[in-house]
Structure formats: C-alpha cells, structure tokens
C-alpha cells in the first residue's frame, strides 16, 4: 500500500486530501496523542507528512491557542525526561533550541532544575565510572564524558576534585 495514496473504489488511485483543515487537525492531534511537541516542531512534522506548510501553521496555531500544543509544557516535559536520563543543562538547552523554542521558554524550563545539577552530575559520573579518578588520565576521561553529556566545565571540575 502506498502511504500517501488510497485505492479509489472506481479502480483508479486518488491522493489524500492534504489541504483539508479537519484532516490536518486530526493528524496534529494524532501526533500530540503520542507525545508533547513544541509548536514549531509540530508544524514541521505536519508539513513532513504532506500537509501544506501554511495550513500546518494555521492548525498548530489554533491548537496552541486552545492549549492543546504548548512550547512551555513541551520544554518542561523534555527537560525532565532528559535530566532523568543523565543529560546536563547545556545539552538540554541545545536540543530545545534546535526544536525551535524561544530562549525565555528554555530558561523557564531549566530554572526549577538549577539546584539539581551538581547531584545529577555526581550520579551520572558514579554510575558510569564508580570511584573518583585516581590519575590525570582518568580525570580527563571522566571530564570528557561529563562535558559530552552537557554539564558545564565548572561543575565538572568541581565534581572531579572530590570531597
């Protein structure tokens, strides 16, 4: 079966009506039923599924006004899930920015987590490496890993100094 086509009862093939606002809204709601999306990301996903980009923008705008799509809610959900997976603030901020969220929304999502970063960094480091580094080589290896995970270098240096 061709993904963007339906069989016509008359024997021919007709394409889906991707200019129908109700159908575009249905696609958007189906996406939102699976997980949260930022407004810009949702519009891009709809366009990628064949919805006219202008119509996708209108539909997503209407969903945002109705509270069904929210950049703030998406940012909070995304940040919390990434923190729980061991990612640091720099990586989360970068990912949210790539998804088209405004700086203010990103800052609001990360602000409640600000006090958790040293403990989260230590938990990630201990899970991966166990003991504090014994030598310079181990310290550099752990620092590279933690910075790759998106933790600021100041926090990494402080954590690797030990108690």
pLDDT, tens only, 48-100: 999 999 999 999 999 999 999 999 999 999 999 999 999 999 999 999 999 99
Give residue limits of the domains in the chain: 5-69, 72-161
CATH architecture of structural domain 5-69:
Orthogonal Bundle (1.10)
- Provide Rg for the chain, Cα atoms: 22
Q: What is the pLDDT of residue 61?
A: 93
Give residue 12's pLDDT band: very low, low, confident or very high (50, 70, 90): very low
Report the pLDDT averaged over residues 114-135: 92
Name which residue leads in pLDDT, 19 or 103.
Answer: 103
- Cut 0.85: pTM above it: no
Contact partners, residue 24, CB within 8 Å, separation at least 6: 18, 46, 51, 52, 55, 56, 59
Sign of the CA dihedral with 69 first, then 34, 81, and 91 last: negative
Model confidence at 6, in pLDDT bands (50, 70, 90)?
very low
> Around Cβ 125, how many Cβ atoms within 10 Å?
23
pLDDT at 161 over 70: yes
For the chain, the average pLDDT equals 88
For residue 129, what are its two tokens?
A: 């490496």
- Give the distance between the most distant pair of CA atoms in the chain: 77
């Amino acid at each position: 079966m061709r993904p963007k086509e339906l069989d016509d009862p008359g024997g021919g093939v007709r394409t889906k009506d991707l200019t129908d606002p109700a159908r575009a809204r249905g696609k958007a709601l189906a996406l939102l039923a699976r997980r949260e999306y930022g407004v810009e990301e949702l519009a891009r996903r709809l366009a990628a599924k064949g919805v006219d980009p202008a119509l996708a923008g209108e539909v997503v705008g209407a969903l945002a006004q109705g509270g069904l799509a929210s950049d703030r809610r998406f940012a909070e959900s995304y940040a919390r899930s990434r923190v729980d997976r061991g990612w640091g603030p720099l990586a989360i901020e970068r990912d949210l920015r790539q998804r088209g969220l405004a700086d203010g929304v990103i800052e609001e999502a990360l602000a409640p987590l600000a006090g958790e970063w040293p403990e989260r960094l230590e938990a990630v480091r201990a899970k991966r490496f166990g003991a504090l580094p014994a030598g310079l080589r181990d310290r550099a290896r752990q620092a590279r890993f933690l910075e790759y995970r998106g933790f600021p270098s100041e926090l990494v240096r402080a954590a690797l100094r030990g108690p």
